[in-house]
A = this chain, B = another copy of it.
Amino acid sequence: MSVLIVGSVALDDIATPLEKRTDLLGGSASYASLAASYFAPVRLVGVVGDDFPPAFIKMFKDRNIDLTGLEVRAGATFRWSGLYEQNMNQRRTLSVALNVFEGFAPRLPQSYRQSSLVLLANISPDLQSAVLDQMSGHPFTIADTMDLWIDTRRDDLLGLLGRVDLLILNDGEARQLSGEDNLLRACRWLMARGPKRVAVKKGEHGCLLAGPEGMFITPAFPLDVVRDPTGAGDTFAGGLAGYLAKAGDTGFETLKRAVVEGTILASYTCEEFGLERLERLKEEDWSLRRQEFRRLTAW
């Protein structure tokens, strides 16, 4: 089963207390697609400018990511610049230039419309809905979001919830959207508005998955050094979606495992800048880390 992923494709400049890097491949759809590609064929929907480096196109193609849905428009690619503070937990956006992303209206190629699993990676909820409008049948729909849309597009986001099977968001966003401090009550509030299940990302503290079947809680994979956490949440969502597509099943037990696989992939993203670590993931390392994660969590 293939997975359709819509989101942003960007060029990022990232500074941490120790390093500064420019012109990195970024954007929610880039991280999510690369992560998902380790499990299943990916169909990418997004937009880039005519300045987008051919090397990044080649990287996507080398990972068998279908780029039929990647629009190339005259102009500059979406750019984001961010700065991490001392402990890497606080991030400040220094600048955003939407460029070709401004006025982007996702158009699905005919070959994409039958996809049975869709990941609406983090973009504005009206664009996420526009993608669903073009789908045939009833794909299993996963949506990620962020605080920006809760602040500026709350009604669109609430409207989208009724069309989503699994909502992914972080703990602060779950509290902000629901108005509930307690995460279990926040999840129930969200589930009452559409999504059968909710995955709450807690950064270095892992993930809480809630559904009518109960809950599942997993820590993050502990790392000695976090060089750049940008895209960890997008990697998690992509890995999770890819695993479900590979399994061809969305039951709770499969979802638990998908959460674990997304968590493990996200740990690689944090180890280096941008997608640099995830790009050169080797099955041998990955399989060892999965075993290590089981030892870390089993009792």
When distances are taken between beta carbons in the complex, the residues of chain B under 8 Å from A259 are: 299
Q: A158 in the interface, Cβ–Cβ < 8 Å? A: no
* Closest beta carbon of chain B to A128's beta carbon, Å: 29
Given A256-B299, A299-B256, is A219 in contact with B222 using a C-beta cutoff of 8 Å? no
Decide: A298 and B298 in contact? CB cutoff 8 A: yes
Given A181-B86, A260-B299, A298-B298, is A222 in contact with B217 using a C-beta cutoff of 8 Å? yes
Q: A295 in the interface, Cβ–Cβ < 8 Å? A: yes
Decide: A215 and B181 in contact? CB cutoff 8 A: no
Partner of A222, one of B184, B223, B294, B296: B184
Given A224-B185, A225-B182, is A296 in contact with B217 using a C-beta cutoff of 8 Å? yes
Decide: B257 and A214 in contact? CB cutoff 8 A: no
When distances are taken between beta carbons in the complex, the residues of chain B under 8 Å from A297 are: 216-218, 297, 299
Decide: B184 and A216 in contact? CB cutoff 8 A: no
Complex Cα spacing A224 to B188, Å: 10
CB pairs A–B below 8 angstroms (24 shown): A86-B181, A87-B181, A182-B226, A183-B222, A206-B219, A208-B222, A214-B295, A214-B296, A215-B296, A216-B296, A216-B297, A217-B219, A217-B222, A217-B296, A218-B297, A218-B299, A219-B219, A256-B299, A257-B299, A259-B299, A294-B299, A297-B297, A297-B299, A298-B298
Top 7 A-B residue pairs of the complex, sorted by shortest distance between their CB atoms: A205-B205, A217-B219, A87-B181, A256-B299, A184-B224, A260-B299, A217-B296
* Interface, chain A (partner B; CB < 8 A): 86-88, 181-185, 202, 205-206, 208, 214-219, 222-226, 256-257, 259-260, 294-299
